[in-house]
Amino acid sequence: MAAPKLRDDLPEPPVTDLDPYAMAVLEDPHPFYRDLRETAPVVYFEKYGVYGVGRYAELREVVTDFQRFTASSGVGITDARDPQFRGRPPSALVEVDPPRHTDTRRVANRIMSPLVIRKWRSVFQEKAKTAVDRILEMGRFDGLRDLVEPVVFGGFPKAMGIRFDEDAIRAIGYMSFNQTGPENELYHKGLRAGEPFMDWFLAACQGDAVEPGSIAHSFFEAEAAGELGQGIASNITRSLVRGGMDTTISGISTAVRLLAQNADQWSLLKENPGRQRAVFDEAIRLEAPNHVVYRCTTGETELGGYALRGGVKIGTFPTAANRDPRKWDNPDSFDIMRNTANIHMSFGAEDHNCIGQNVARMEAESILAELLARTASIEPDGEPEYLIHNQLRTLGKLPLSVTPA
């Protein structure tokens, strides 16, 4: 479909010296998000030669209109279609548009349907019970290393059917979420961390290495049956392993942090335990795991009353949109009674909503259910610290204390 002809009187987006990759921004991005939203519906980051959006309406438009804003250019700041692109192969689930995306996603939806995923619930519940046993003994603990990671690292690789190496998984994730940014210090640091583990990672995501009956095994069965193209099963497996654990750990850790910091919301959850899933969605609304995800304009187009050039990357900042006062009442408050599922932009939207969200929610619910049933209170025991990436917004330490029920 041809891009609509632009009106001659449309201005180009304002040029800004805001830097989404400045270290101060990556350490605390919320002032940047506010500045981005209030500058204009769309801006042009002069330093990087890309557009950026932080308001809800325009961001959702970019994410859902693949004819004007393609995902095939990759989620990072560099165009993955460029012959000089030095990153990983594009994801067959995330970095592709319909109609190519449609058939693959249909198979993936079947393999990762809520009905299928439900059979792994007991695995996550067992890991959550063990983790809560341990933190109750400790009293003071790290919510990341002692609670969230044991459940995700203990359950997700088993469900996926891949062998687990903690050092390798950490390094591959750190590399992947820095490789999407510009070639700054974090980019090169990520490469140095991940490259020694690449052979292990590629081998672990092949059909002869995954466990029978697992999610990954189902993808390889679909490929063997001709439902997926050659090489797609290993591509999807790599995507899910590389992105699924880190983003889930980020989201659940944020939920636990917010409950610890907001005693009134913890009490409200105790009174309304059916809001467990809402807690997770509200947490990732306030703090999306992804700092920025890119699309690319397919041609000249209009967005928010501004004229955009074709072939230019456009960064979408989901946390900025999720806190847009044009969309939300009291957008910076943590409110577990707020219904945000399928509205917030942390899981994407429509054709490009997160395929792993059912697994992430199950992991979150398993942890929250154990905490609710067995603890009287959970409180901060020091300042949380963030592990800095170009793309991922995630905690590095979360000191907490817990009182048994």
Give me the domains of the chain, ranges plus CATH numbers.
15-404 (1.10.630.10)
Nearest residue to 145 (alpha-carbon basis) of 134, 137, 155: 134
Give the separation between CA 122 and CA 130, rounded to whole angstroms.
12
pTM for this entry: 0.94
Give the separation between CA 266 and CA 258, rounded to whole angstroms.
9
Per-residue pLDDT of the chain (405 residues; tens, 9 = 90+): 344 456 677 999 999 999 999 999 999 999 999 999 999 999 999 999 999 999 999 999 999 999 999 999 999 999 888 887 777 777 777 888 887 778 888 998 899 888 888 888 999 999 999 999 999 999 999 999 999 999 999 999 998 999 889 999 999 999 999 999 999 999 999 999 999 999 999 999 999 999 999 999 999 999 999 999 999 999 999 988 877 789 999 999 999 999 999 999 999 999 999 999 899 999 999 999 999 999 999 999 999 999 999 999 999 999 999 999 999 999 999 999 999 999 999 998 777 777 778 889 999 999 999 999 999 999 999 999 999 999 999 999 999 999 999
Residue 350: CB atoms within 10 Å: 11
The residues, any chain, with a CB within 8 Å of residue 256's CB and separated by 6 or more, are 143, 147, 148, 367, 371, 378, 398, 400
The DSSP letter of residue 353 is S
Three-class DSSP labels, 219-250: HHHHHHCCCCCCCHHHHHHHHHHHHHHHHHHH
> What is the per-residue DSSP string for 178-234?
HHTS-SSHHHHHHHHHHGGGHHHHHHHTSTTTSPTTSHHHHHHHHHHTTSS-TTHHH
CA torsion through residues 24, 380, 387, 80, sign: negative
